A and B are shown apart, each in its own frame.
Chain A
Amino acid sequence: MQNRLQAENLPEAIEKLLQNQECLSYLVFVSGDCFQVREIYSPDSKRILYGLQREYSRLGRSLVDAIWFHHPAKLLLVCGQELFWSEVDVYKCHIAGPLFTDNLLRIRKKNPGGDIASSWEFRTGEWKKANRTSFQKETANAMSETEGSFLEEVHLDRKLRDTTHPVFR
């Protein structure tokens, strides 16, 4: 197994920023592609989860490239003029199981019609503070999460005929 970042406790300040609705999050990949991402949080004060909307997208491809070829990415948290960033190990892709369900239900709680294609687990390293201008180029050109997507991905329980669900009984 290659050397990977361990799931260490997140600094308290970073946890707070992750919960702050005013902060913007960005993922920057080795290709230089940068995406503004919304559904990002920590389920356990260690790991970070990101709910990807569409896998057949430029962002979906970047995540796959990062996990397959162990290409590190960067996670930026921007709050006002402050910017914190850390190197990110794109560690795991969840398509079922407790972390996937946690991520999905969290999204559906906010938006009952919401869905995610997969949940990506990141492990972060040391968090660094920087001036917002240091990532100006990346964030100014940030793409949307669904950039280049060509297929809407919806779980079958979102295609049911009626909302008197659980399945009409």
Chain B
Amino acid sequence: MVNDLSVSPFVLLKLSMIWHGVVLTERALDRLQAPDYCFGKWEPFGLTNGSHVKKVLPGAILLRDATFVHINYGEPFTDPFTADFDPETGCFLLMEKDHVIDEIDFVPRPSFYGKVTSKGTPMETVALARAQKLILSAFQKCLFWKNGEQCHYCAFFSQTKTAEVDEEDIFETVQEALKEPGRYSQIYLSGGSDFRGDYPFEEEIQRYIRIFRSISTLFQGRFHSQLMAPAYKKEDVKKIYEETGITSYCPNIEIMDKTLFQRLCPGKEKWIGYDTWIRRTLDAVDVFGEGNVYTQIVAGAELARPYGFQSIDDALRSNFKGCEFFAKNGVICLSTIWRPHRYAKLGFQPMPPLDYYIRLTKGFHEIRKSYGLVAVDDNYKLCGNHPDSDLERLDFSCKTDCRQKTCRKL
């Protein structure tokens, strides 16, 4: 365990857990098969976890302060933590060898799991649930993979069979999910890249509009929602915003350095290009407003062999410069942690040291804070993938102008 007294111990623990990995004991796994925890058998993002176990793997871990920790259970970790179940207290425990680190919990099973749509589609193939986030995937393939132009760190959709998800199935799943009181604070829509159409991504844009338009009929006015998609032309972004009730948009740059982006994201480079991606991300601020456009980096992939930076200082410099540039322009830039995956082009290789992630987490948080930006749509509760936005929980105050930015009309 690392120790940095200026940072939340829960965020440090989260970074350690993702870095080292977590394995579940049989006892924990057995308890997690019960109806209150048992998760779906399918994974809408087709991320294969490599598990050999026959039991259903659980949802993400929730630490005592509700910090969310996503673990690719079943990966061959070299020095993992253990998650055990203590039948005496009825609690799950995080262990480091024989030492109890803390009590932990798991994301509870959402009530729509196990149900089917009117067409007979299992709802858990359509949506994923976090503690407060409903995640929909509209297109369960990424066409970048077709010509070997996928992002080098990506292992999404490597196992899925179908591509387009039936839009009525999505609508019915959302309806069913929202019957559970207080279970969701955000609806998030994404999918693999589909560049088909009269111009690149036209079909994908139309699909996202149709899906969000139908979900919007359930709500009065705008509702907390996010579209994670490529950086579209401003007129398309405007159309998406105006024709649906969504509140935030997230075109992820993933790799901050231009040369590395061009190497590691060949599909994105070919169909959009680094400079255009950035320009369009800034353009989207004119549509969604400052603080409502997000982007993220896959932190660590910029240091991966064979192309990556030679030193963590160079990597930090590049990322901080980019985060500051985005912040200056009203875009919230977050980090998410790269976990090497054997189905990805970069394959299984060591991650950068934990210290890198701690410095990055603190740095990103400080930069955004200095610009009065608060990641309300990507915080510990609505997302949980970003250790740097987990740290915002102590920043209850922000600049007055930021209040207007983040407290937009919902």
Interface positions of A (Cβ within 8 A of B): 1, 55-58, 60-61, 64-65, 67-69, 91-98, 100-101, 104-105, 108, 115-116, 118, 148-157, 159-161, 165-169
Contact = CB atoms under 8 A, between A and B. Distances in A.
A159 B221 contact: yes
Nearest to A157: B178
B376 interface: yes
Interface of B: 8-10, 36, 62, 64-66, 100-103, 105, 107-108, 131-132, 134, 175-176, 178-187, 217-221, 223-224, 374, 376, 381, 393-398, 403, 406-407, 410
A153 B182 CA distance: 11
- Among A104, A116, A157, A165, the one with the most B-chain Cβ atoms within 10 Å of its Cβ is A157
B62 to A, nearest CB: 8
A95 B131 CA distance: 7
A167 B181 contact: no
Contacts of A60: 393, 396
22 contacts: A1-B100, A55-B393, A65-B394, A67-B65, A68-B9, A92-B103, A96-B132, A96-B183, A97-B105, A115-B182, A149-B396, A150-B397, A151-B376, A151-B406, A155-B132, A155-B183, A155-B185, A156-B219, A157-B183, A159-B221, A159-B224, A160-B178
B12 to A, nearest CB: 10
A112 B395 CA distance: 31
B178 A64 contact: no
A161 to B, nearest CB: 5
B331 to A, nearest CB: 19
Contacts of A104: 181-182
B403 A150 contact: yes
Given A148-B396, A150-B403, A155 B182 contact: yes
B175 A168 contact: yes
B261 to A, nearest CB: 33
Contact of A159 (B103, B180, B223): B223
B278 to A, nearest CB: 28
Contacts of A156: 134, 178, 184-187, 219, 223-224
A98 B176 CA distance: 19
Given A1-B100, A95-B131, A151-B376, A161 B64 contact: no
A107 to B, nearest CB: 9
A166 B179 contact: yes
Contacts of A100: 182
A61 B224 CA distance: 22
A65 B175 CA distance: 37
Nearest to A66: B65
A56 B374 contact: yes
A101 B182 CA distance: 7
Given A100-B182, A160-B218, A169 B175 contact: yes
A137 B374 CA distance: 34
A150 B107 CA distance: 28
A110 to B, nearest CB: 14
A159 B175 contact: no
A92 B105 CA distance: 10
Contact of B184 (A118, A155, A165): A155
A93 B10 CA distance: 12
Given A1-B102, A68-B65, A156-B224, A167 B108 contact: no
Contacts of A94: 66
Nearest to B223: A159
Contacts of A155: 132, 181-185
A55 B220 CA distance: 23
A169 B117 CA distance: 14
B131 A96 contact: yes
Contacts of A105: 181
Nearest to B67: A93
A60 B149 CA distance: 45
B381 A56 contact: no
A115 B182 CA distance: 8
A72 B49 CA distance: 40
Given A67-B64, A156-B223, A166-B179, A61 B185 contact: no
Contact of A98 (B36, B223, B403): B36
A116 B184 CA distance: 12
Contacts of B374: 56
B207 to A, nearest CB: 22
Contacts of A57: 396
A167 B10 CA distance: 36
B185 A153 contact: yes
Contacts of A91: 64
